[in-house]
Amino acid sequence: MAKTKEKTRWFCTECGADSPKWEGRCPSCGAWNSMVEERVSPSPRKSPATRTRTTPNRSVPQKVSEIKASEEARIHMPSEELNRVLGGGLVSGSLVLIGGEPGIGKSTLVLQNILSIKSRRILYVSGEESAMQIKLRADRIGRMSDNCYIVTETSLETIFEHIAEIEPQLLIVDSIQTIASDAIESAAGSVSQVRECAASLLRYAKEENVPVLLIGHINKEGSLAGPKVLEHIVDAVLQFEGDRQYMYRILRATKNRFGNTSELGVYEMCQRGLREVSNPSEMLISRQTGEQLSGCAIGVTIEGQRPFLIETQALVSTAAYGTPQRSVTGFDSKRMNMLLAVLEKRVGFKLAQKDVFLNIAGGLKVADPALDLAVIAAILSSNVDMAIQHGICLSGEVGLSGEIRPAARMEQRVREAEKLGMETIIIPRGSLKGVDTSRMAIKIVEVSKVEEAFRHLFG
């Protein structure tokens, strides 16, 4: 064993900075306990793409006024939700990372899209699944294409050979953590490998003007380099998230050099792949006809650019133990405790002796403070065991003294509620100033205090 010659360095899994020795705190980004040890070869920076490509295509500085700006050519993806998140399509020559937990549906999303692009030659490099497994998945999705090549490969050098042979017009690498370059000694998935492979693919994308989609895993143990290291390198980071117990998946851009990061795409995982959900509100509110149940309130929230109607459910019951339980899914638990304290003080409910459970339907996590009013309404409704009437929805932030504060883009929220056939919306007073409400079919109730909302809901 040539152990004596082996050199190691320490890499930060958060930002990719390296250091010759271990440090408790990364000197570059300040993250604690993020350094991992990796073997390095004597010449780590020589990746295959560097060796073969940089010298002939030497770059030449240009005056900014003389650069011809051909409005970046975008490839229209078959999925409209994906286009929306990308900012209007995939920009040629861009490097896009799709990150998410294992099993959330990243491979399915990408495969489903590329099988519908018939006009381009596409190379799908998989380091995780065999060609047969991918074929089975394609059968399951029910799409086929003659222009899509699949190869199972993990060596970066061989991947570049395949690229030279096939000359793809779109390249997919699933996943970046399984690819390794021979120029670096450490294992696939280590910080230095991930960074090096991504940098080589970036160079390829820019020089050949071919868009490259990378798939990356996030994992909590930190044994694989998280997409954090990649975030600096790539042009766009799309996050695919959702709860595996639920069918809904949300795709959002956390970084995008060519578009807006507040866009959002919603999908549903079905038997035959992912289905686009162009109107999320419809599936997030249960449309029970007949008897109304207590403890349910419909709130209007905005995620990204899109308003959603979402059902909040609460259960308030007498505490069985000395310390009352508080359990929250999909909403900030500190915020719920704050709202409970406001209710106690302002409306006089003795909630201290009650267990309170709160749930946001559909497994979504909502951070929009405008959901406060719906949360309060659901809790009150369960507490008095009176159902909120059909067709009422709420939107507004609740302040510490029980005042209802205006939330952003109220008009958009009201219109969404109207579109979905809601009859009444309860909103903060004065939040529709300057908006012509006379033509709206929905009844608008403006309130400025929690007590007022309570009186309106339960008489």
> Which residues are at the interface with Mg ion (CB under 5 A)?
107
- By the rule CB under 6 A, 271 interacts with ligand TYD: yes
- Shortest Å, Cβ 108 to ligand TYD: 3
- Shortest Å, Cβ 111 to ligand TYD: 7
Residue 237 makes CB contacts below 8 A (sequence gap 6+) with 96, 97, 99, 227, 230, 231, 253, 254, 255, 256
- Whether cis (ω within 30° of 0) applies to the bond prior to 333 is no
- Residue in the shown chain whose Cβ atom is closest to Mg ion: 107
Count of residues that interact with ligand TYD, criterion CB under 6 A: 15
- By the rule CB under 6 A, 359 interacts with ligand TYD: no
Which residue among 273, 304, 330, 362 contacts ligand TYD (CB under 6 A)?
Answer: 273
C-beta of 230 vs 375, nearer to Mg ion: 230
Is beta strand 397-398 parallel, antiparallel or unpaired with respect to 404-405?
antiparallel
C-beta of 104 vs 309, nearer to ligand TYD: 104
What does 272 bind: ligand TYD, Mg ion, none (CB cut-off 5 to 8 Å by kind)?
A: ligand TYD
C-beta of 94 vs 107, nearer to Mg ion: 107
Question: Amino acid letter at 290?
Answer: G
Give the pair of three-digit tokens for residue 458: 């339960």
CA distance 171 to 107: 13
- By the rule CB under 6 A, 143 interacts with ligand TYD: no
CA distance 163 to 241: 31
- Shortest Å, Cβ 215 to ligand TYD: 7
C-beta of 129 vs 207, nearer to Mg ion: 129
- By the rule CB under 6 A, 181 interacts with ligand TYD: no
- Shortest Å, Cβ 174 to Mg ion: 6
C-beta of 107 vs 383, nearer to ligand TYD: 107
- Shortest Å, Cβ 194 to ligand TYD: 17
Is the Cα torsion angle 96, 100, 102, 107 positive or negative in sign?
A: negative
Residue 247 makes CB contacts below 8 A (sequence gap 6+) with 268, 269, 270
Q: At what angle do helices 156-166 and 191-208 cross, to 10 degrees?
A: 20
**Do 383 and 308 touch, CB atoms closer than 8 A?**
no
CA distance 406 to 395: 9
Which residue among 16, 48, 87, 105 contacts ligand TYD (CB under 6 A)?
Answer: 105
- By the rule CB under 6 A, 239 interacts with ligand TYD: no
- Shortest Å, Cβ 338 to ligand TYD: 36
Report, in angstroms and rounded to the nearest whole number, the Rg of the chain calculated over CA atoms: 26
- By the rule CB under 6 A, 62 interacts with ligand TYD: no
C-beta of 141 vs 233, nearer to ligand TYD: 141
